[in-house]
Structure 1
């Protein structure tokens, strides 16, 4: 940096990372960055990228009843501190009030409540919301000063503007709140998975204006420089869990060049579990995000609640009834009937133009608009079709699209109904001679099949580490009701009466469900490592829906596999008492990095080498192979010949002595031999090792097949997914 003066260097630096890891963020040009990287004292230089941000029924659906007598659940995450890195918080929300009887702030807490625009610490923070910070420097260095448009003014503070952070935080640890609903939908008691846990908010994601067609939108953007600062402070402050609903879309960066991966590695070394969203790029394969093996990546699924709406079809001869799903928060939920004795107005949308093309001009006054998305490669968002109907003065809109899509988050423009293509085609056939009566929407529970993996949820295999199964687990993420902030909605057209409650969908919503469960586990098992907690969540997951059938994966009706759902759908009550766990230490992950081609210098950019856990050298002859990383799943992405994999489990059950027997579901065309077939434990924390030998029984060129290995003592079922890709066909000669 000889060409840069000390004063210029100081002005260029806007973050010093000094608590959990050592480094800084600075504005440098390409030549300066290249020169800095050549220094022997510098471990790594990488560009700061921008990442994207990604309930009244969901917790009951997973078995976490507020009236449960389970002694391990009754603590509700008491005194566990959950850090949420997101778009901030709306502190006045009922979800962040102090629970009756909540004790003082834990003595281990070292953070603070930082004031800012419309965020007064003495009013905003309490014994529930115990900390709040915000990070602007990275975002503003890339996008300029915030608040360029008074209509889209952000808060220069930890206060949430967009609502994403408030929603995720309340899902994870929200206090119990009676009477939650949005326009009557989803009415009930809302709460987070760990309602007695403490919340610390780190606002590192900021609202940017965008466009979907003609609609101005808000979307959260997170600078990696800000994210690293948030991780650094969170670990210094003393959080126990970090919930991170954001990610980087493929092509993924190496772990040594990723703020999320570096920050979460240091969290793991400090005993802090990090939970990430898996991404919303499904259902195509290999687009899963946040794939490092030291954190948890969460897929999204549905719950058993729907909002059916009856549509009466009046023809010249008779009346038929169709039942379908209503949009969320529309006036179709009112107590009065919506009867429109008019012809249906048909509208076809082309995704490339996002503008309506109609048969009868542009005025749909007094009519119901029936909207089809006719694109096969890029379906039109329902919001665009809703806007088209609003602009055309329609009285209501019926949107025809796959019902695998989540309903709109707010539904503020006009009454909206979603129907599938079969129902839509039928209405289209009657469009010149049909009158409709739309009855008020209802809320229905225990609808099956449920859960179903949501179509938008990103799928495996991992694009950069295929030997590690990702996503790890699935949790509720579609149409989740949680707290929001009563600020301008994403639409600039139409009325805006958004509630302090909001339905939203995405793996961003699934992530805090698991974060809340991790807080429960931390409360019940304070000495468990992040690896042990992840193991408990994965090995106790279930793969059957409410009817006892295999869980399905949208958009088709196929049974979900491990690339859709990870180990399965999270089962929190079972996770509290898993029986056996697969544990790991930081050095195990270092060996994983060695096996994936990372140099010692790159590894030092990721790992904090402490005296008690010095970074091992990649040349260490005792390093384990990639497949022998003690992960709770077994993935062999390139099986050519007979291969043996090693796993070690630790007994954490309270009933001793105990004996576990193995059962195997073999992947198609693979012989699986486990030895030993029985493991006997005489005490808590005793460890046993077993070996799995996989032999291909067919020739194949890259097909994945799925199975499982389950250990059971009669009380516990410890299941590990088994994923094998046979790739043993001889190379073709020219």
Structure 2
């Protein structure tokens, strides 16, 4: 087969993503002047067996136009070709595919602790120091403290790579290898590669912050691991496909243990034209797992571009630390925005103007958006500019010298903050419109932008709006992304040569805050490497399975789009659980070859696999049953879907023993463009091996796709997170516990009551306590709605209410409990809210947090239930918490309205001891409310004049109040 030129790629299906065109027997006459040549990738499959000269073969095909050959780990080359030449090559039997070399887009002091993965976690340090992480990105800044080799031993003997970092680049025992495929060096001039490398495997560096924000210890998930760098992206943030495939070729041959690549296409490519999928296939063949970012094209559906089953595709989610800033308007209103703003305007308000009012030579719309060249630098000097568009506004406002800027996030996504080059804040549409209304209501609008602050995010983890979503357009039966990991506002190492925001920002830092699936990907990479330190012999599929089946379950995505598993896959990554999953789903190269058979002819599959693989005559049932139907003109339905698992109990006698089982999903009446979810969980009382199942129909080009069977019922798409699960085979025992010898995993019979009907579909949930659960900011889940309804139904019957709380409220997950509390406060069901709050305080996950107290205390104060306020106030003080200014203000107002000035003064004295800076509003409320009490008022007035010497206090005539005491 090799003699015949059928060049076989490694197990990875080298998808021709590189933009290099190959030339086949082109003569000089063929290459006319003026003809456009495009760098294209010619993918020839796996490496051939036996004695064989790849370069000779490539040159015989391409003659003088080859740009480079892939010869170490798989077979292919890149060349400048015309359309005619590409067509000739594509028709050759030894060629898998020819495709243009397109470009990719590059897509943490708290994140590891948030996942329970602190510095004291159990580690296999000796093995970890032998792990080599291949970082394919924009290079690295090797002098960063995150990459020093203090305490590191010699380079692992099995390392086959080299330090070819180029100009002014030196490796050490931490950064043991470097290669670059563009520019003059592997040195990172942008910062992206340094950031991702340190997140995955950077040393622990104490007292790191970004201008005082997010201070703590910055560290990678596997700090003892070694790093090999493959620079494929330029400082212009462009990553060519042919360079990317070249990096895979080298990394596999160099001997890395895992590959992390935080780049992705904006468009979805089939496997044979996707260089990352191709490279990852051949890496898998050599026992190397590839971790890839899902992409930043969310929140729309079907945008995830990393769709191959043999890769770990990672979505981005938030952690329990958020960075916000505040805008204070001239009328005293405070609006919360999203930006990483390191500047302070010293508490002073400045003139506020709209871009359209300081324009030159632009339309009103362009000027209002602060588009390039529209703002007059003379008119914006010393002013805060309001811009209707984020992307153009911040750069233009900075360039023309505006004092600050208030921007709108026109797509109304406010779950991530980005570093800005000047005092600026990004507001959602609602708050931005408040600013516009304020400007229209006064002749002299003023505003102040405060320096960003760090707050607790009680609803984390939430899938970021920017994170790309499924379903998988290439293989609809595979859920993508696979997993979610922290990717919002991550602090990690950075290149001191790179701008920290826009190109004109001259600030330089050693550690920077970035957001994206690029930041999530190295978190998952590190967890995979951590698992490998405990299980060095595990396959990429086993490592991937352990990560996915032990993930924290998550709920529906955010308030803008409901995409469920298509946003987060199996859930949020759980590093500690991943090393002991109990069972894993195994998948081999042969399994993935069968997957390729679903899409490609047997001859092409053989080129990819490099062997005599054959495709079964009958395809897997799932795809064979898929039938296009005409789209119906109606949407009414009565879906009835059942899931059966046979057998329901699986017994294991020995370690690494394999078992199989069947999952049948049958039903009828599921409408087009609909989706319902469930999960399959095997449990032995200690482990829970959980996989999501999604039943859905899709509409493409006016055609409905679903699975059909005989009669009126349908066999719908079974969505599980990895290919081995789809095959329903290869369930392998991994737990090392040998007593008792016989280990049984079952679907817990005791939890049948947890099956919930959703559109006729039985949703299984095992009801166990879990880690943090994702919950949308505005949507309330069905479990929470049921709890709210029951609490209100039994609120007048203390006995029934107590039973309902015990049987239902106590079973709720973290975010559902918080959602119930918030909604009861909104509905002013204060007594019920207090009971739920007491439940929350007894949970294992509860950490004292002033924001849990805040809304409840404010609700009570506004209802003038001051006795209840003081009970909560005392509890809050016992937990060493200080309220914020708004809470002090409302409680003071409540006591004054209730005729208790002495209690109001007690709260005032407490406020004076608060570590937060004083604000005017509570003082003014006291000055007004204490007018009938001059002695008390004078005390407050003296403090006010001392703290705010430039502010005026109005003293009305005494006769207005009559006799005072």
TM-score by length of 1: 0.79
CA-to-aligned-CA distance 1:393-451 (integer Å, 9 cap, x gap)? 43222223335253224x22x11223333333333333325544544432234x22111
Q: 1:156 aligned to 2:184?
A: yes
Contact 1:454 1:554 (8 Å CA) reproduced:
no
CA-to-aligned-CA distance 1:117-169 (integer Å, 9 cap, x gap)? 232xxxx2111100000113xxxxxxxxxxxxxxxxxx411111111111111
Cα distance, 1:701–1:418 mapped onto 2, change above 3 Å: closer
Superposition deviation, residue 479 in structure 1? 1.4
- 2:458 aligned residue: 448
Q: Distance in 1 between matches of 2:283 and 2:707?
A: 40
Q: Distance in 2 between matches of 1:2 and 1:59?
A: 55
Contact 1:707 1:723 (8 Å CA) reproduced:
yes
Q: 1:11 aligned to 2:64?
A: yes
Q: 1:498 aligned to 2:511?
A: no
Contact 1:83 1:240 (8 Å CA) reproduced:
yes
Q: 1:307 aligned to 2:323?
A: yes
Q: 1:84 aligned to 2:84?
A: no
Contact 2:377 2:402 (8 Å CA) reproduced:
no
Q: 1:112 aligned to 2:162?
A: yes
- 1:673 aligned residue: 644
Q: 1:417 aligned to 2:420?
A: no
Contact 1:43 1:604 (8 Å CA) reproduced:
no
- Among 236, 240, 246, the residue aligned to 1:229: 246
Cα distance, 1:426–1:674 mapped onto 2, change above 3 Å: same
Cα distance, 1:267–1:36 mapped onto 2, change above 3 Å: same
Give the greater-gyration-radius structure (CA).
Answer: 2
Q: SS where residue 723 of structure 1 aligns?
A: strand
- 1:659 aligned residue: none
Q: SS where residue 663 of structure 2 aligns?
A: strand
Q: SS where residue 453 of structure 1 aligns?
A: coil
- 1:328 aligned residue: 340
Q: Distance in 2 between matches of 1:18 and 1:255?
A: 20
- 1:577 aligned residue: 580
- 1:682 aligned residue: 653
Q: 1:706 aligned to 2:706?
A: no
Superposition deviation, residue 313 in structure 1? 4.1
Q: SS where residue 225 of structure 1 aligns?
A: helix
Contact 1:224 1:259 (8 Å CA) reproduced:
yes
Contact 1:637 1:725 (8 Å CA) reproduced:
no
Q: SS where residue 404 of structure 1 aligns?
A: coil
Contact 2:312 2:544 (8 Å CA) reproduced:
yes
Q: Distance in 2 between matches of 1:492 and 1:688?
A: 54
Contact 2:326 2:425 (8 Å CA) reproduced:
no
Cα distance, 1:225–1:387 mapped onto 2, change above 3 Å: closer
- 2:314 aligned residue: 298
Cα distance, 1:422–1:366 mapped onto 2, change above 3 Å: same
Cα distance, 1:392–1:103 mapped onto 2, change above 3 Å: closer
Superposition deviation, residue 453 in structure 1? 0.7
Q: SS where residue 307 of structure 1 aligns?
A: strand
Superposition deviation, residue 360 in structure 1? 11
Cα distance, 1:355–1:537 mapped onto 2, change above 3 Å: same
Contact 1:454 1:555 (8 Å CA) reproduced:
no
Cα distance, 1:426–1:724 mapped onto 2, change above 3 Å: same
- 1:339 aligned residue: 347
Contact 1:256 1:606 (8 Å CA) reproduced:
no
Aligned pairs for 1:165-204 within 5 A: 165-204=193-232
- 1:147 aligned residue: none
- Among 562, 566, 582, the residue aligned to 1:563: 566
- 2:725 aligned residue: none
Cα distance, 1:353–1:181 mapped onto 2, change above 3 Å: same
Cα distance, 1:360–1:133 mapped onto 2, change above 3 Å: closer
Q: Distance in 2 between matches of 1:224 and 1:360?
A: 42
- Among 47, 66, 85, the residue aligned to 1:32: 85
Q: Distance in 1 between matches of 2:292 and 2:62?
A: 34
Gaps of 5+ in 2: 1-23, 29-58, 357-363, 630-637, 698-705, 713-965
Contact 1:404 1:555 (8 Å CA) reproduced:
no
Q: Distance in 1 between matches of 2:535 and 2:445?
A: 62
TM-score by length of 2: 0.61
Cα distance, 1:669–1:174 mapped onto 2, change above 3 Å: farther
Q: Distance in 2 between matches of 1:97 and 1:60?
A: 23
CA-to-aligned-CA distance 1:626-676 (integer Å, 9 cap, x gap)? 579xxxxxxx98799xxxxxxxxxxxxxxxxxxxxxxxxxx9741111122
Superposition deviation, residue 680 in structure 1? 2.1
Cα distance, 1:605–1:297 mapped onto 2, change above 3 Å: farther
Q: Distance in 2 between matches of 1:508 and 1:71?
A: 25
Q: Comparing both chains, which one has the higher relative contact order based on Cα–Cα distances under 8 Å and sequence gaps of 6 or more?
A: 1
Q: 1:617 aligned to 2:631?
A: no
Cα distance, 1:51–1:626 mapped onto 2, change above 3 Å: farther
- 1:355 aligned residue: 370
CA-to-aligned-CA distance 1:201-243 (integer Å, 9 cap, x gap)? 0112223xxxxxxxxxx3x222222222111111110001000
Aligned pairs for 1:421-436 within 5 A: 421-431=429-439, 432=442, 435-436=446-447
- 1:720 aligned residue: 691
Gaps of 5+ in 1: 137-154, 208-217, 374-379, 545-549, 610-614, 629-635, 641-666
Q: Distance in 2 between matches of 1:17 and 1:532?
A: 28
Contact 2:413 2:465 (8 Å CA) reproduced:
no
Whose helix proportion is higher, 1 or 2?
2
RMSD, aligned CA: 3.0
- Among 273, 280, 284, the residue aligned to 1:264: 280
Q: Distance in 2 between matches of 1:260 and 1:115?
A: 22
Contact 1:471 1:565 (8 Å CA) reproduced:
yes
Q: Distance in 1 between matches of 2:123 and 2:503?
A: 51
Whose strand proportion is higher, 1 or 2?
1
CA-to-aligned-CA distance 1:658-699 (integer Å, 9 cap, x gap)? xxxxxxxxx974111112222222222122222111111424
Superposition deviation, residue 259 in structure 1? 1.6
